[in-house]
Amino acid sequence: MKILQVDSGLFTGQSVSRELTQKIVARVQAENSNAEVIHRDVIANPVAHLDAEILMASGVAGNEQTDRQRTEVALTEALLEEVFAADMIVIGAPMYNFSVPSQLKAWVDRIAQAGRTFRYTENGPEGLLTGKKAIIASARGGIYSEGAAAAMEHQESYLKTVLGFIGITDVTIIRAEGVNLGEEARAQAVGKATDEINALNAA
Protein backbone atom coordinates (compact mmCIF):
# COMPACT_ATOMS: atom_id res chain seq x y z
CA MET A 1 0.00 0.00 0.00
CA LYS A 2 1.27 3.47 -0.87
CA ILE A 3 0.31 6.65 0.95
CA LEU A 4 1.02 10.09 -0.45
CA GLN A 5 1.13 12.67 2.37
CA VAL A 6 0.85 16.26 1.16
CA ASP A 7 1.47 19.00 3.74
CA SER A 8 0.83 22.70 3.25
CA GLY A 9 0.77 24.21 6.75
CA LEU A 10 3.08 27.24 6.86
CA PHE A 11 4.37 26.57 10.37
CA THR A 12 6.12 23.27 10.89
CA GLY A 13 6.21 23.28 14.72
CA GLN A 14 2.68 24.32 15.59
CA SER A 15 0.61 23.41 12.54
CA VAL A 16 -2.71 21.77 13.33
CA SER A 17 -3.07 20.29 9.84
CA ARG A 18 0.42 18.80 10.04
CA GLU A 19 -0.33 17.31 13.46
CA LEU A 20 -3.43 15.69 11.96
CA THR A 21 -1.77 14.36 8.77
CA GLN A 22 0.94 12.82 10.95
CA LYS A 23 -1.65 11.11 13.13
CA ILE A 24 -3.66 9.91 10.11
CA VAL A 25 -0.59 8.42 8.45
CA ALA A 26 0.49 6.75 11.72
CA ARG A 27 -2.99 5.29 12.10
CA VAL A 28 -3.03 3.92 8.53
CA GLN A 29 0.48 2.52 9.00
CA ALA A 30 -0.57 0.81 12.21
CA GLU A 31 -3.27 -1.03 10.26
CA ASN A 32 -1.09 -1.71 7.21
CA SER A 33 2.39 -2.78 8.28
CA ASN A 34 3.71 -2.68 4.69
CA ALA A 35 2.43 0.83 3.96
CA GLU A 36 4.97 3.02 2.20
CA VAL A 37 4.77 6.79 2.70
CA ILE A 38 5.83 9.43 0.20
CA HIS A 39 5.92 12.88 1.79
CA ARG A 40 5.35 15.92 -0.43
CA ASP A 41 5.83 19.08 1.60
CA VAL A 42 4.80 22.01 -0.58
CA ILE A 43 6.05 24.53 1.99
CA ALA A 44 9.55 23.07 2.39
CA ASN A 45 9.73 22.49 -1.37
CA PRO A 46 7.31 24.88 -3.05
CA VAL A 47 5.93 24.06 -6.47
CA ALA A 48 6.09 27.09 -8.77
CA HIS A 49 2.74 28.51 -9.81
CA LEU A 50 1.70 27.69 -13.33
CA ASP A 51 2.71 30.26 -15.90
CA ALA A 52 2.64 30.23 -19.69
CA GLU A 53 6.19 28.91 -20.02
CA ILE A 54 5.43 25.91 -17.80
CA LEU A 55 1.97 25.32 -19.24
CA MET A 56 3.15 25.35 -22.85
CA ALA A 57 6.18 23.12 -22.21
CA SER A 58 4.38 19.86 -22.99
CA GLY A 59 3.68 21.09 -26.53
CA VAL A 60 7.38 21.73 -27.17
CA ALA A 61 9.81 18.95 -28.17
CA GLY A 62 12.21 18.07 -25.35
CA ASN A 63 15.29 19.37 -27.20
CA GLU A 64 13.56 22.68 -27.91
CA GLN A 65 12.45 23.31 -24.35
CA THR A 66 14.13 25.96 -22.25
CA ASP A 67 16.16 24.75 -19.27
CA ARG A 68 13.40 25.98 -17.00
CA GLN A 69 10.76 24.11 -18.99
CA ARG A 70 12.79 20.89 -18.74
CA THR A 71 13.17 21.31 -14.97
CA GLU A 72 9.49 22.13 -14.47
CA VAL A 73 8.25 19.30 -16.71
CA ALA A 74 10.37 16.88 -14.68
CA LEU A 75 8.79 18.21 -11.48
CA THR A 76 5.26 17.94 -12.91
CA GLU A 77 5.96 14.35 -13.97
CA ALA A 78 7.32 13.51 -10.51
CA LEU A 79 4.19 14.98 -8.88
CA LEU A 80 1.92 13.04 -11.25
CA GLU A 81 3.89 9.84 -10.65
CA GLU A 82 3.39 10.21 -6.89
CA VAL A 83 -0.35 10.61 -7.37
CA PHE A 84 -0.64 7.71 -9.85
CA ALA A 85 1.27 5.40 -7.50
CA ALA A 86 -0.70 6.29 -4.36
CA ASP A 87 -3.55 4.15 -3.06
CA MET A 88 -4.34 6.85 -0.51
CA ILE A 89 -3.65 10.57 -0.51
CA VAL A 90 -3.59 12.35 2.84
CA ILE A 91 -3.80 16.11 2.36
CA GLY A 92 -3.06 18.62 5.11
CA ALA A 93 -5.29 21.58 4.28
CA PRO A 94 -5.26 24.66 6.48
CA MET A 95 -7.86 27.29 5.73
CA TYR A 96 -6.03 30.46 4.69
CA ASN A 97 -8.22 33.37 3.60
CA PHE A 98 -11.25 31.11 3.20
CA SER A 99 -9.48 28.71 0.85
CA VAL A 100 -6.40 26.48 0.73
CA PRO A 101 -2.80 27.80 0.87
CA SER A 102 -1.66 28.94 -2.57
CA GLN A 103 1.19 26.42 -2.30
CA LEU A 104 -1.38 23.62 -2.20
CA LYS A 105 -3.28 25.16 -5.12
CA ALA A 106 0.00 25.22 -7.09
CA TRP A 107 0.34 21.45 -6.48
CA VAL A 108 -3.27 20.90 -7.62
CA ASP A 109 -2.61 22.93 -10.78
CA ARG A 110 0.21 20.52 -11.73
CA ILE A 111 -1.73 17.32 -11.17
CA ALA A 112 -5.09 18.36 -12.68
CA GLN A 113 -4.20 17.70 -16.30
CA ALA A 114 -6.42 16.80 -19.22
CA GLY A 115 -5.41 13.46 -20.70
CA ARG A 116 -3.53 12.44 -17.55
CA THR A 117 -5.83 12.71 -14.53
CA PHE A 118 -9.09 13.57 -16.30
CA ARG A 119 -10.38 13.62 -19.84
CA TYR A 120 -13.17 15.22 -21.79
CA THR A 121 -15.74 12.82 -23.23
CA GLU A 122 -19.02 13.20 -25.10
CA ASN A 123 -20.70 13.00 -21.71
CA GLY A 124 -18.55 15.66 -20.14
CA PRO A 125 -15.35 15.45 -18.10
CA GLU A 126 -14.32 12.13 -16.60
CA GLY A 127 -11.85 11.62 -13.75
CA LEU A 128 -9.12 9.06 -14.42
CA LEU A 129 -7.79 8.50 -10.89
CA THR A 130 -10.32 5.91 -9.87
CA GLY A 131 -9.91 3.43 -7.02
CA LYS A 132 -8.04 5.80 -4.72
CA LYS A 133 -8.95 7.18 -1.32
CA ALA A 134 -8.26 10.63 0.03
CA ILE A 135 -8.28 11.89 3.59
CA ILE A 136 -8.27 15.65 4.09
CA ALA A 137 -6.90 17.00 7.38
CA SER A 138 -8.71 20.31 7.61
CA ALA A 139 -7.70 23.04 10.09
CA ARG A 140 -9.59 26.30 10.51
CA GLY A 141 -9.33 29.20 12.88
CA GLY A 142 -13.09 29.82 12.93
CA ILE A 143 -16.27 27.79 12.48
CA TYR A 144 -17.59 27.13 8.98
CA SER A 145 -19.40 23.80 9.32
CA GLU A 146 -22.53 25.67 10.42
CA GLY A 147 -23.79 29.19 10.92
CA ALA A 148 -23.32 32.42 9.05
CA ALA A 149 -19.78 31.67 7.85
CA ALA A 150 -20.71 28.40 6.09
CA ALA A 151 -21.06 30.20 2.74
CA MET A 152 -17.48 31.53 3.07
CA GLU A 153 -16.00 28.05 3.08
CA HIS A 154 -13.90 27.45 -0.08
CA GLN A 155 -11.30 25.11 1.36
CA GLU A 156 -12.77 21.62 1.95
CA SER A 157 -15.42 22.20 -0.75
CA TYR A 158 -12.75 23.21 -3.27
CA LEU A 159 -10.58 20.17 -2.52
CA LYS A 160 -13.53 17.77 -2.67
CA THR A 161 -14.56 19.27 -6.02
CA VAL A 162 -11.16 19.02 -7.63
CA LEU A 163 -10.46 15.53 -6.22
CA GLY A 164 -13.84 14.38 -7.53
CA PHE A 165 -13.07 15.97 -10.89
CA ILE A 166 -9.93 13.84 -11.26
CA GLY A 167 -11.77 10.70 -10.14
CA ILE A 168 -11.16 10.56 -6.38
CA THR A 169 -14.62 10.44 -4.89
CA ASP A 170 -13.86 8.44 -1.73
CA VAL A 171 -12.91 11.42 0.42
CA THR A 172 -12.92 11.51 4.22
CA ILE A 173 -12.63 14.82 6.04
CA ILE A 174 -10.98 15.03 9.44
CA ARG A 175 -11.64 18.53 10.68
CA ALA A 176 -10.35 20.67 13.53
CA GLU A 177 -12.16 23.99 13.38
CA GLY A 178 -12.35 26.92 15.72
CA VAL A 179 -8.70 26.41 16.67
CA ASN A 180 -8.14 30.17 17.04
CA LEU A 181 -11.06 30.65 19.42
CA GLY A 182 -8.94 30.11 22.54
CA GLU A 183 -6.81 27.39 24.10
CA GLU A 184 -9.76 25.32 25.25
CA ALA A 185 -11.53 25.47 21.88
CA ARG A 186 -8.31 24.48 20.14
CA ALA A 187 -7.67 21.52 22.45
CA GLN A 188 -11.27 20.38 22.04
CA ALA A 189 -11.17 20.64 18.23
CA VAL A 190 -7.88 18.75 17.97
CA GLY A 191 -9.12 16.17 20.49
CA LYS A 192 -12.30 15.54 18.48
CA ALA A 193 -10.31 15.23 15.24
CA THR A 194 -7.90 12.82 16.95
CA ASP A 195 -10.83 10.68 18.15
CA GLU A 196 -12.09 10.56 14.55
CA ILE A 197 -8.63 9.49 13.35
CA ASN A 198 -8.50 6.72 15.96
CA ALA A 199 -11.92 5.54 14.79
CA LEU A 200 -10.95 5.55 11.08
CA ASN A 201 -11.44 2.34 9.20
CA ALA A 202 -7.84 2.43 7.96
CA ALA A 203 -7.37 -1.17 6.82
**Alpha-carbon distances, residue 17 vs 34, 50, 80, 147, 175 (angstroms):** 25, 25, 23, 23, 9
Coil/strand/helix, residue 169 = coil
State yes or no: residue 135 binds ligand FMN (CB under 6 A): no
Within 66-125, which residues bind ligand FMN (CB under 6 A)? 94-98
The residues that bridge with 37 in the sheet, in sequence order, are 3
Closer residue to ligand FMN (CB): 9 or 127: 9
Q: How far is the CB of 136 from ligand FMN (least distance, A)?
A: 12
Closer residue to ligand FMN (CB): 18 or 110: 18
- Residue selected from 5, 17, 69, 76 as contacting ligand FMN according to rule CB under 6 A: 17
Query: Which amino acid belongs to residue 121?
Result: T
**Alpha-carbon distances, residue 12 vs 48, 95, 177 (angstroms):** 20, 15, 18
Give the integer Cα–Cα distance in Å for 194 and 179. Answer: 14
Q: How far is the CB of 25 from ligand FMN (least distance, A)?
A: 15
State yes or no: residue 42 binds ligand FMN (CB under 6 A): no
Q: How far is the CB of 141 from ligand FMN (least distance, A)?
A: 3
**Range list of H helices, the chain:** 16-31, 52-55, 67-85, 102-111, 156-165, 183-198
Segment near ligand FMN (CB under 6 A); pick from 33-41, 54-62, 133-141, 192-200 = 133-141
Residues that bind ligand FMN in the complex, under the rule CB under 6 A: 9-11, 15-18, 94-98, 139-142, 179-180
